[in-house]
């Protein structure tokens, strides 16, 4: 699935931080939980028209799933595929719990200002997203339900949600193959349901690879009739530049 064995780029984002970049189609973004217990909040937009954005409901209902794992595709609200999950070591990633905000972080882990703690101050996911979105002329109106990589939130028959605190481990890896150019906005702030005693600050290692061409037998493309049709929409988009 990867055309190159060694990464084209390799970087580490500290815990409790935020970053963004544009992924080009035909490339793989590898996310690695460097130390274990990571949470990576992510949003996705089309750089050509940022009104096209990651859509949690469409992603879940098209694939009849509440969790995300290998074989699933991440859909835009325009019926197209931003990225395919081509590798996943964990079997479950959350996309319904949203992100922590300043109030939640201060309530659970205390307020640590920049003056006190410099770059170890307590950032929150919502402000982090808004900080990165502003770099593309985007803002509060562009926020949608985000992905929470490496995090698992399960439910019981009554719909009660439980955060699974020991879900991810050091080295756990997710590979996302991008099928469209995509603005990727991410943060390494805590999952909003994490009840750890200390502010969870876990880094993300990410690497870029060139992807092998997507064949008609590709497992993500054929995983469901819905995914096959989303790939057809994406192919049409690239046919009509």
Partner 1 sequence: MIKESALNPETASFRETVPAGEYFLKVVQAGETLRILDLEGNQAADTLFYNAHNPTERYSVTDTLRAQGNVYLTAGSRLMSSENNVMLEITADTCGRHDTLGGACAAESNTTRYALEKKCMHACRDSWLVAVTEHEELGMTKRDITHNINFFMNVPVTADGGLTFADGISDAGKYVEMEARMDVLVMISNCPQLNNPCNGWNPTPIEVLVWS
Are 84 and 73 in contact, with CB atoms under 8 Å apart?
yes
User: 136 and 119 in contact (C-beta within 8 Å)?
Assistant: no
Comparing CB distances to partner 1, the nearer of 91 and 110 is 91
Length of the chain: 241
CB 67 within 8 A of CB 94: yes
Q: Which span sits near partner 1 by CB under 8 A: 27-35, 90-98, 172-180, 210-218?
A: 90-98
Closest of 68, 58, 29, 2 to residue 229, by C-alpha: 58
Residue 87 binds to partner 1 (criterion: CB under 8 A): no
Q: How far is the CB of 51 from partner 1 (least distance, A)?
A: 5
161 binds partner 1, rule: CB under 8 A? yes
Tokens of 34: 């460097």
Site size toward partner 1 (CB under 8 A) is 48
Q: Is 92 in the site for partner 1 (CB under 8 A)?
A: yes
Please select the residue that binds partner 1; options are 17, 47, 67, 235, rule is CB under 8 A: 67
Contact with partner 1 (CB under 8 A) among 158, 217, 239, 240? 158
Q: In angstroms, rounded to a whole number, what is the distance separating the alpha carbons of residues 149 and 151?
A: 5
Pair 204, 13: CB distance under 8 Å? yes
For partner 1, the closer of residues 9 and 66 by Cβ is: 66
Binding to partner 1 by residue 61, rule CB under 8 A?
yes
Using CA atoms, how far apart are residues 68 and 62, in angstroms rounded to an integer?
A: 12
Residue numbers at the binding site for partner 1 (CB under 8 A)? 51, 55-58, 60-62, 64-67, 75, 77-80, 92, 96-99, 101, 103-104, 140-146, 154-161, 192-193, 226-227, 229-230, 232-233
């Amino acid at each position: 699935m990867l055309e190159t064995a060694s990464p084209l780029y390799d970087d580490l984002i500290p815990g409790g931080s935020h970053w963004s970049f544009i992924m080009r189609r035909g490339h793989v973004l590898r996310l690695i939980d460097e130390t274990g217990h990571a949470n990576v909040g992510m949003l996705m937009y089309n750089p050509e028209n940022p009104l096209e954005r990651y859509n949690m409901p469409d992603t879940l209902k098209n694939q009849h799933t509440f969790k995300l794992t290998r074989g699933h595709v991440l859909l835009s609200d325009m019926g197209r595929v931003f990225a395919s999950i081509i590798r996943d070591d964990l079997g479950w990633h959350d996309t319904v719990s949203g992100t922590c905000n300043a109030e939640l972080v201060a309530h659970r882990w205390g307020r640590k200002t920049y003056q006190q703690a410099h770059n170890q101050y307590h950032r929150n996911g919502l402000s982090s997203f808004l900080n990165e979105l502003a770099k593309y002329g985007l803002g509060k109106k562009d926020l949608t339900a985000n992905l929470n990589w490496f995090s698992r939130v399960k439910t019981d028959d009554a719909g009660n949600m439980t955060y699974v605190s020991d879900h991810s481990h050091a080295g756990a890896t997710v590979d996302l193959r991008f099928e469209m150019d995509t603005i990727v906005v991410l943060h390494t702030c805590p999952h909003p349901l994490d009840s750890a005693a200390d502010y969870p600050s876990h880094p993300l290692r990410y690497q870029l690879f060139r992807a092998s061409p997507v064949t008609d037998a590709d497992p993500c493309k054929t995983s469901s009739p819905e995914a096959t049709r989303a790939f057809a929409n994406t192919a049409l988009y690239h046919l009509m530049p």
